[in-house]
Amino acid sequence: MTDANDKTRFNTEARPNWCPGCGNFGIQASIKKALLALDLQPHEVAMASGIGCSSKIAHWINIYGIHGLHGRPLPLAAGIKLANHKMAVIAEGGDGDGYSEGMGHFIHAARRNVDMTYIVHNNGVFALTTGQASTTGRQTRVTISTPHGAIEPPFSPTALAIVAGATFVARGFSGDTDQLADLVAEAIRHHGFALVDVMQVCVSYNPERSYKWYQERVYKLDSQGYDPSDRDKALALGLDTGEERLATGVLYRTERPAYEDKLQQLQEAPLAERDISRIDVSNLMEALI
């Protein structure tokens, strides 16, 4: 049994095999810091992850974890939350997983406002499969899938999340683990769908976006008296995928009922705690044969 006061309770014996210098290490550290700050225990947290370098993080944090199909961590996370809405539920993956393969799930999870946190490692490439261009990659960038340069402009996941109905939208940087840990903790604490889009350094397949490149451009909104309830300003920041300045912090925050708040069948207790020993589904099974 894990000691409730053990500060290493989210560590695992296994160690990540990411490339040395990968931004995923910073994100992993930030998530563990956030869970400790919230005084959560391993059995109180579940993570659904997709496919990719980033999505292997579920193996290396001592919580409940499950891999889904490529681009599908959000429906898995929603199912976990509806089965046991007392748990802190995290969906996790990369920009290729969530903003390319899983775009439809991303939009509908935000629209429904399911109470869960979506952490996206946004490095502009499909890193696990050796660096193909993703939807957030720079236009004209040459990759193995765009040998003559990417034709499409990058899209903004933060702006899309706001328009789709997300009630908490933040942007962090994998090189600033203290700020990122605070953002993850705020996102988990928020009641509703929370996106934390993380500008993640990929040292192997997008080395031009290095730690130095980001450090010269990122700035913190909370140091500038920014109001995250202003939707128009949040959209303007979300749409800015520019090369010069990149805002980090909570871009947008509002309140509205979460999806599960409106489900009467969840009001009595979580589904996971219900006694199902007396439920007979034999008639239903016979009807389906």
Q: What is the pLDDT of residues 121-142, one digit of tens each?
A: 999 999 998 989 898 888 888 9
Residues 287, 242: Cα–Cα separation, whole Å: 57
Predicted confidence at residue 242, as pLDDT, reads: 66
Predicted TM-score (pTM) of this structure? 0.93
Predicted confidence at residue 221, as pLDDT, reads: 95
Predicted confidence at residue 192, as pLDDT, reads: 97
Given CATH 3.40.50.300, say whether it is the number of domain 24-256.
no
C-alpha separations of 121 from 39, 201, 230 in Å: 24, 9, 25
Predicted confidence at residue 278, as pLDDT, reads: 84
Residues 282, 284: Cα–Cα separation, whole Å: 5
Give the residues of the chain that fall short of pLDDT 50.
none
Reported as type and span, the H/E element at residue 188 is: helix 177-189
Predicted confidence at residue 268, as pLDDT, reads: 83
C-alpha separations of 234 from 116, 172, 192, 240 in Å: 21, 15, 18, 10
Q: Which residues pair with 272 in a beta bridge?
A: none
The span from the first CA to the last CA of the chain, in angstroms, equals: 44
Supply φ then ψ for residue 50, to 5 degrees. -90, -135
